[in-house]
Amino acid sequence: MRHLLALLALPLLACPSSGTLADDDDATDDVADDDDATVDEGVGCWDDGPGSEVPFAWGQRGDSLVLLARDGSETVLHEGHDQGEIQAWSLLQAGGWMAAVGHYFVSADDRGTIAALWDREGELLAEATAPGGAGWSTFLSPEGQLIIHAGNDPSGSGSARLLSPDGTIEELPFGRPAGPPQLDATPLCRDDLGVCGWLAAEGDELFHTLESSQPFWPGGEYLLRFDDRNPELPMLQAESPWYPMGLFLDDFIPPQDAPARIVRSAPGGRAVLGPIGAWEAGHWVVANVPAGEVFDLDLDGRGVTVEGGGCPPSPPGFDEDGASIYAVRDDVAATFVRRDPTTGEEEPLGLPITGLLFAEARSRDGALVLAAGDGSDTFCGSGDRPWGDAPKALPGNSLQLLRPADGIAYVLEAGPLASGYGPSVQLASGGWCASVPDSVEWDAVLESFDLSTGEREPFPEGFGFGGWLE
């Protein structure tokens, strides 16, 4: 295996999320029964004690973007467009900065996007409006620079707008944003040329370009790209514009399989690439570029892959320690496992599951979300391998909320989670509160779930939950 290679030049990608839940008190079971376990209950979802007035979630109320505190109080961050309805708000967070993007609609000829930037104290620093069908591809850097897509010119070439903490708003000459600015350069894609690269401050041409089929992926303080221009020497790059690093993967990705792509990334310059060999194969390459580490995760070769039917199986996830989490199956059931990044040993997590096509794990501050779905909300069909009789296994649509160090485990009845449709299960900072769908129906809405008590509670009436604050 080749080691980490520092390059002189060259400059990223994601997959399914979650689904829906049952509103049934009997379906919420604390399956941890260890009297000796010492549980630090931390702070759950709601509280009216000291500090409870500090916002911990964001969402939408009417056309306004609002912040929600643990005591239920709300702060309006932005009131929306003065003439048009806000169809959706999104909030970005990085380095303590906050940025909002709201899509407004007055008429087919009068629509666009509002972008605004706030500092750590909630003071508005800069605001811009991009008319037309713009607004996608939006990034916020840890230094507080916000870049948004600002529509296309008559030739079809994209343009971008850069908002900075000093209040300046800069029109970039061309390009679709492909990542947050770094070191006086911004990653952009030129759709007219089919490439993604870097645009230097005061520059007018992209440098370190690759085909736009291999764009940038966020990996914490790094941006990641898969360079397969030479199929004999595929490389994963962890980049800043001036100090890129690369990790050769030719020992893991045969030349005929070089069209693999990044399917998941995580802080620390980690990425999952694949699928290797075939679209439906459970064969991945997991790499950490700055550390020069890479391993082959051939679940299909082990005969225990969780199949995706006519769709690719779910790629591995990462926990906060950099360990890979994925589901493996035998002839009866599947189980989530955590692969230790140092020893390579697999530790089972949660309860076994049967009849699933998709499996996804999320981690935050000691808490885990293990979501599984049977694919019934997709056109993926079913896997080729039947499932055996597993009376003690959870059904294919299931959700597990765990805090392994505290001996806490909850099992919730679920809709077809982890296939990428429906509300997404998220963990709040601290890992003691989660947002979970309130039913298995398509029109499910998110409500809070307290891991310290096992209690569900709806969000305030009229508040549309968007996400947790960092």
Query: pLDDT tens across 275-288, in order?
Result: 888 777 788 999 99
Which pLDDT band holds residue 426 (cuts at 50, 70, 90)? Answer: very high
pLDDT at 88: 86
Q: Taking the CB of residue 151, how many other CB atoms lie within 10 A of it? A: 17
Computed on alpha carbons and rounded to an integer, the radius of gyration of the chain in Å comes to: 23
How high is the pLDDT of residue 154? 58
How far apart are the C-alpha atoms of 400 and 434, rounded to whole Å?
Answer: 11
As a whole number of angstroms, the distance between CA 436 and CA 266 comes to: 23
- Give the mean pLDDT of the chain: 84
Band of pLDDT at residue 19, cut at 50, 70 and 90:
very low
pLDDT in tens, 247-267: 999 999 988 877 789 999 999
94-135 pLDDT, tens per residue?
A: 999 999 998 888 887 888 888 999 998 889 999 998 877 666
Average pLDDT over residues 336-362: 91
Q: What pLDDT score was predicted for residue 2?
A: 33
Question: Where residue 349 sits, what CATH number does that domain have?
Answer: 2.130.10
Number of domains in the chain: 1
C-alpha angle 373/431/395, rounded to 5°?
A: 20
- The CA distance from 293 to 318, in Å, is 15
Q: Which domain holds residue 321?
A: 5-468
Other Cβ atoms closer than 10 A to 86: 19
Enclosing H/E stretch for 217: strand 217-219
142 Cβ contact list (under 8 Å, min separation 6): 94, 95, 97, 180, 221
Q: 361 by DSSP, 3-state: which? A: strand
For 406, the 3-state DSSP assignment is helix
* Predicted confidence band of residue 300 (pLDDT cuts 50, 70, 90): confident
Which H or E run contains 184?
none
- The DSSP letter of residue 300 is H
pLDDT on residue 380: 83
Q: What letter would DSSP give residue 109?
A: T
Query: 339 in helix, strand or coil?
Result: strand
**What integer pLDDT is reported at residue 196 of this predicted model?**
93
State how far the Cα of 324 lies from the Cα of 340, in Å rounded to an integer: 7
CB atoms within 10 A of CB 32: 15
Across the range 204-217, mean pLDDT stands at 90
Residue 182 has pLDDT above 60, yes or no: yes
For the entire predicted model, the pTM comes to 0.85
